[in-house]
Structure 1
Amino acid sequence: MNFQKMMQQAQQMQFKIQEMQEKLAEIEVTGESGGGMVRVVMTCGGMVRSIKIDPSIITPDDPDTLEDLVTAAVNNANAAKDERIKSETK
């Protein structure tokens, strides 16, 4: 295999990787916690698009619970993102 052909293949691979990154940046996944009381939508590129919190769980006396629910929802969305990336790149 000559050097020029290797360079062409490398450029094609780089183009395919860039295409895949752009595609993944548009795919959205959702993570939930608290039985759907907290929902996080993020892209497979890792950008959080939205966080929705049911007003009934917002209590000034107990911020720890809300913090835990948001953290869990973000972690669930992140896990969903990882799974989606695996399935898209097979």
Structure 2
Amino acid sequence: MSKLTLIANIIAKPEQVEFIKAELIKLIAPTRAEQGCLGYDLHQDNDNPAHFLFFENWQSRELWQQHMNSPHLKEYLAVTEGKVASFTLNEMTHIG
């Protein structure tokens, strides 16, 4: 399989925007250090500051799944429970 690209959209609850932003930023350094991580970039929508987007590239789906079970991601999920309005994840295959 070719490189796996992921688009993760996180919409924070309005009163939790700064908290969610801080917690998402904490994920960047440890994730970038993981085996198979080719890119892990966080963005914030200019018109809707509650909307965050991770643009991720991984060497393989298997290595991304290891990331999904990492201690830092599990900690993020625990501390942000109930503070996120919505979350969507798209798995994409690079074709050109």
* Global fold match (TM > 0.5): no
TM-score, scaled to structure 2: 0.35
TM-score, scaled to structure 1: 0.36
Structure that is richer in strand per residue: 2
Structure that is richer in helix per residue: 1
By relative contact order (CA 8 Å, sep 6+), the higher-ranking structure is: 2
